[in-house]
Amino acid sequence: MCGLYAYIGSKGAMSQVLEGIQKLEYRGYDSSGVATVVDGKLVWVKEVGKISQLEKVLAKKQLESNVGIAHTRWATHGGPVQVNAHPHLDAKEQVAVVHNGIIENHALIRELLEKRGVVFVSQTDSEVIAQLIGYLYRGNLVKAVRRSLPFLEGAFAICVIHQDHPEQMVCVANQSPLTIGMAQGETFVSSDATAFLNHTRRAIYLKASEIALITKDSCQVFNAHFKRVKKECQTLEYTVEESSKGGYAHYMLKEIFEQPYTLKSALLGRQKSQLGTACLELITEQELLKIKRIVIVACGTSFHAGLLASYMLEERAQIPVEVHISSEFRYKNPIVQEDTLAIAISQSGETADTLAAVCELKAKGAKIVGLCNTEGSSLAREVDSALFLRAGQEVGVASTKAFTNQLVVLALLTLRLARQRSMSRAQGQQFIEALNRLPDQIQEILDQHKKIQSIAKAYAHFDNFFFLGRRFMYPTALEAALKLKEIAYVNANGYPAGEMKHGPIALINPSCPTVAFCADSVTSSKIISNLMEVKAREGLLFAISDRKSRELEEIVDHYFYVPPTIDELSPLLSTVVGQLFAYYVALERNTEIDQPRNLAKSVTVE
């Protein structure tokens, strides 16, 4: 979840690392800090809150140096207070460490070091790394780091500096992303390669407990047994995007309004209209034909995309699908047969739970297709085939355009598999036509954002919500409820409408409104009956539908109509309404929308 960044070169380390962690603030914003070596002494600055607080303090200090490490934190162990902020130091205050991940056996290491007289100052798991390296240091920093590794259990990426070695840094990556950027006379280290793209596109990826000894001109990599590993620099292809709000009040609103364009990007060059099929870079045609079962693993918003994909794939391709929350999948002892295709979905491509599920699937012999938004990500490197979302940089923590692009790419995959099996060319062409109408249909919804804002104002003071749907609208309701939880901090429960009477309807009252997603042709009449049950208990109702209905309008308190499309694609249109509703409720409640409390954009710890 946290972001680390480091620099060694001749351009002024503090300005370089500050710029770097500002680009990583989406990974955590509880606290931040830097460390460097000035006149042979380790110097550090830590501040609670967003990086802007750290920037103000650094502006008053003259920390001229050629080496620096920096960190922006999402709290796991220990609250967001200054003493728990990174970098962490050893007892002699000579070693400084920044860390992303979790040390699972930190309590045991802490106990062992305390028995040897080491005094800890924080509540974090990360401090044990610095204290352990400092305790084992005997004049050679690389050897001290190497000797520390067998003691550390968990997924982690670290960068270490020592006041006696101002011309070097040591880095380690173990099941956590870390990228080294190589430029002329300077070297960068980052949790995310996009943070240094303005400086270099030549990158080295560390993995599997590899250790890197870094200077401004070189990067020597060793494996866990300290054998030299030859690592080729990769050239990063993706573009640098400016993190500008473009006149919008928030990044999230900007990204909602970008969806007509990002969907076009997701569709570009991926369809063969004449043949009524999709054109995707996948595993071979023969392997696709052998697929008898699909397993999808994902977390959060991506899990909701996976649920919708399961409906699409079973409906159109007639392939049985299982969808698993990644964090639970690896603990089930899952059954993976040789005719199973696995689909792993992660916006960042760095979601720790999903990467762990991918490792489990690979060990069981599954072919894996990965959906992610970042080229060069861990997921893209681990899977057999990677399908990129093409959503562009998503700065807002609550995913919007990445989610709708996930649905479009999954719809294209559905089309590809369905055309191999039961779908005719004419049906495929109709499916493509519906896909290509989506950008304009979403623009129609966006053009009515003032109406959605007006409706949101009427509901913004409520602290409890139900979001209901059936069939394709059920996962849509789950996603809309999640958006309201994330940015408005209200208790919003997504639920299958038909299940309400099996218990949850007891919670319906005038203070608990219901948002109902009705744009599913098969279940539209059924959900109206469910809404009547809610209305009979004096619950307020806001309905989103794709067809005008006097019966619906007589029941609900507010309604919004989305353009009609095929059922498989109706979630994309209804989702945009849910995104705008959540945004405007949060705006009325004056919450932090782009960086909601307790959340981070990239979840890189289990």
Residues 546-574 have pLDDT tens digits of 988 888 888 999 999 999 999 999 999 99
Specify the pTM: 0.82
Q: 606: pLDDT confidence band, cut at 50, 70 and 90?
A: low
Distance CA 43, CA 310 (A): 53
Distance CA 86, CA 139 (A): 24
Q: Which two tokens stand for residue 306?
A: 């996976």
Indicate which residues carry an active-site annotation: 2, 601
Which span out of 80-94, 357-371, 386-400, 454-468 was modeled with the highest average pLDDT? 454-468
β-bridge mates for residue 173, sequence order: 157, 210
Q: Return the CATH fold of 251-441.
A: Rossmann fold (3.40.50)
Domain extents in the chain: 3-235, 251-441, 448-594
Tens digit of pLDDT for each residue in 205-217?
Answer: 887 788 999 999 9
| CB proximity list for 189: less than 8 A, separation 6 or greater | 4, 5, 6, 7, 69, 159, 169, 171, 178, 179, 180, 181, 214
Q: What is the mean pLDDT of the chain?
A: 90
The CATH number assigned to the domain with range 448-594 reads 3.40.50.10490
Query: Residues, the chain, total?
Result: 606
- Average pLDDT of the segment spanning 222-251: 79
Measured at the alpha carbon of residue 159, what is the angle toward residues 155 and 160, in degrees to the nearest 5? 125
The pLDDT value recorded for residue 605 is 54
Task: Determine which helix (DSSP H) or strand (DSSP E) holds 386, and give its type and residue range.
Answer: strand 385-388
Q: 265: pLDDT confidence band, cut at 50, 70 and 90?
A: very high
- Provide DSSP, 418-467: HHHTT--HHHHHHHHHHHHHHHHHHHHHHTTHHHHHHHHHHHTT-SEEEE
Q: 240: pLDDT confidence band, cut at 50, 70 and 90?
A: low
How does strand 186-190 pair with strand 3-8?
A: antiparallel
Distance CA 505, CA 495 (A): 11
Measured at the alpha carbon of residue 598, what is the angle toward residues 584 and 97, in degrees to the nearest 5? 140
The pLDDT value recorded for residue 545 is 94
Measured at the alpha carbon of residue 440, what is the angle toward residues 434 and 441, in degrees to the nearest 5? 70
Q: Which two tokens stand for residue 548?
A: 């005008």
Q: Which two tokens stand for residue 205?
A: 């990826």
Q: Return the CATH fold of 3-235.
A: Glutamine Phosphoribosylpyrophosphate, subunit 1, domain 1 (3.60.20)
Fold matches, 251-441 and 448-594: yes
Q: Between 483 and 351, where is the model more confident?
A: 483
Judged on CB neighbours under 10 Å (0-12, 13-18, 19+), 326 is: buried
C-alpha dihedral, 31 to 37 to 43 to 45, nearest 10°: -20
Q: Edge-to-edge strands of the sheet including 210-214?
A: 88-89, 95-103, 154-162, 169-174, 210-214, 219-222, 228-229
